[in-house]
Structure 1
């Protein structure tokens, strides 16, 4: 009887064993996978998610959730400091809170996220406000300076990264980024996870930073 009880306990412990997998590089997540370095779990592309990515089944408490869920829709505030209400439906066009800024790109509108969050959370917030918005992507020096001025921070996230392939910088719209005014010595990929791009305001240049760093950001909307 005692032996049976011990066997039952062992089987129970086996069933309860943590099966989550922690990653440190995209390569560990397989073809098309991305290691979300702020939580060290793998994600895959999923167009049904506002962020465009969903955690895999081995992502512990994040398993099968959209990347950026759990607060992403509460992460932003408008430039007056007011909180944003969660978005329950897909909005087309540029909703209230998006404004024109001097030096902005054409008819595009912009919105400040006052709170500092990691790159993926800021990206998810922008797409949650409207299907027409994304984490801002400067196309020239005038737009870079305009975004930096609106952010009013020493550094701010922009929608460019080399998460998929090292040193191949793509926008959040999955297009190659051709305007890349790097700061001196950049990109240097110093330390693990410097795959996301930020504006260095003082120099009007780009730097690669750890995606888990918490910075301000600006959303860009195409009417």
Structure 2
């Protein structure tokens, strides 16, 4: 079995999605919350200097910018957000070429991302990808934590087990722009790292990963 797994931000999409989604959705759901953007920027700085982890950062960001918006409302905003990105060249052509190659080879394709499922689902649907593994949101908290690093690998393994598949016994391709995805990149038979950064490209090549330009 051939399995092809794609990250979302800066891999299938040209740019990150979370902060742009917060702005996009707040503009539609609660425009007054846009005045809180400087607070969100300060919170991101707090994360960068180690005051809290990604799960807490994203939880606080959701509460700050979108309040208690129902998940159904967030899903609708997610569909609009993904459509807006698609209309404006928001996908990575080089990565889409790999996606079409995997389709032609009959691969089982999935998106595994730290992005919230309520909007990542819309991106996957736009690309015709049925299986999505992302960060969950129950309206107040992130059950199971951020779908990132080892947590992402564990979620992918759980999915494979449900399908009766073994990642080790499959022909596995994984495409990502992030060193946080090293657990899956190291496991893959074909690890593809997407970056325009010379430093990151050098580090990725040193680990034996194939490197492509983000264009």
Q: TM-score, normalised by structure 1?
A: 0.24
Structure having the larger proportion of residues in helix? 2
Larger RCO: Structure 1 or Structure 2 (Cα < 8 Å, ≥ 6 residues apart)? 2
Q: Which has the larger radius of gyration?
A: 1
Q: TM-score, normalised by structure 2?
A: 0.25
Structure having the larger proportion of residues in strand? 1
